[in-house]
Amino acid sequence: MMATARIGLIGVFLVLGLFFTLVSAVGVIRLPDVFSRAHTASQADTLGAGFALAAVALTLGWQSAAVKTVLLLLFIFITNPTAAHAIARAAYEEGVEPWTTGDDRR
């Protein structure tokens, strides 16, 4: 019973991780400018990587490698949004105008 639930949870986490990573990849390709791309690359990608690593940690069970995986998860949660923040901030400092609808629309 426990094993079945665990395998099911691993599957759910993997599918969710794949889904959010796919959303992130599509967003990076399809969205119009730097700011929206940085936004999708930070949010959806962090969640996708988080779910995938959670599935890995569940698969490994109680051992030292699982602890490393959880640490990796923690650092990805910290650093990935910060990297996107740095990119968006640098783009703003360089004078990239945000994409808008309406008159400014290209």
Partner 1 sequence: MSSDRSADGDAEGTITRQRPIYTESQVIMTTVKVVIPFVLTYGLFITFHGTSSPGGGFQGGALIASVVLMIAFAFGIESTRAWLSNTLVVGLGTVGVAIFAAIALIPMALGGDFLEYTAYYPVLGDTLGLKEYEFVKYGMEAVEIGGIAFIVSGVLMGLFFALAAGFTPADLDVTGAASDAPTDEAVGDDASNAATDATGEVDAE
Q: How many residues contact partner 1, by CB under 8 A?
A: 11
Q: Which residues of 44-83 are buried (b: 16+ CB within 10 A; e: fewer)?
A: bbbbbbbbbbbbbbbeeeeeeeeeebeeebeebeeebbee
Site track for partner 1 across 45-64, x = CB under 8 A: --------------------
Q: Determine which residue in the list 8, 15, 67, 82 makes contact with partner 1, applying CB under 8 A.
A: 82
Q: Which amino acid is residue 87, in one-letter code?
A: I
Here the tokens at position 12 are 């759910």
Pick between residue 12 and residue 90 the one whose CB is nearest to partner 1: 90
94 binds partner 1 (CB under 8 A): yes
What is the residue whose two structure tokens read 């929206």? 36
- Contacting positions for partner 1 (CB under 8 A): 75, 78-79, 82, 85-86, 89, 93-95, 97
